[in-house]
Amino acid sequence: MNSDLKPKQRLLIEQVSKGIDLKQALILQGYSENAKSLESQVSRLNKNKAFLKELQRVQEKRLEDKIISNQLDKERLISEFYQLYQELRADNDASNSIKCLVNIKEMIGANADKTKQIEHKHKISFENLLVDMRKEKENKPMISIN
């Protein structure tokens, strides 16, 4: 933690690192719950570059930890579902093993059943072609040879 910070600022940073909102952390430290007073304290803290730098570092670390935690949880769940799938398959329980595979597919984001369809519409129909051919015959000048 940054040594340029005052003890109260360090405590605020510590509380924010635990997921507490900055305004709530100020209230926990004994500041007035009055909205104007809180805004004034936040404004004062926003002018302190050392505080802002440490606050940003702590928030980025918290976000990174959350992402890593979510990724590990996802990987652990996929691994457990796969183990369950193998056990169900060994027991010849096709219905439940398929359900496990569906869950695994959803977790890894496989969209095998969501195929893209391209719609192609022709502006010319067969009937219109026939009508156009008749019009051309009617509109063509007749050439007579004597």
- Identify whether 65 is part of a domain: yes
User: pLDDT, tens digit, for every residue of 35-67?
Assistant: 888 888 888 888 888 888 888 888 888 888 887
Residue 145 lies in a domain: no
pLDDT tens-place string over residues 9-20: 888 888 888 888
In a domain, 132, yes or no: no
For the record, the structure tokens of 130 come out as 């026939």
For the chain, how many structural domains are there in total? 1
Q: Are 66 and 92 in contact (CB under 8 A)?
A: no
Asked whether residue 15 is domain-assigned, the answer is yes
**Domain boundaries, position 50:** 7-108
Residue 135 belongs to some domain of the structure:
no
State how far the alpha carbon of 95 is from the alpha carbons of 37, 84, 98, in Å.
62, 13, 5
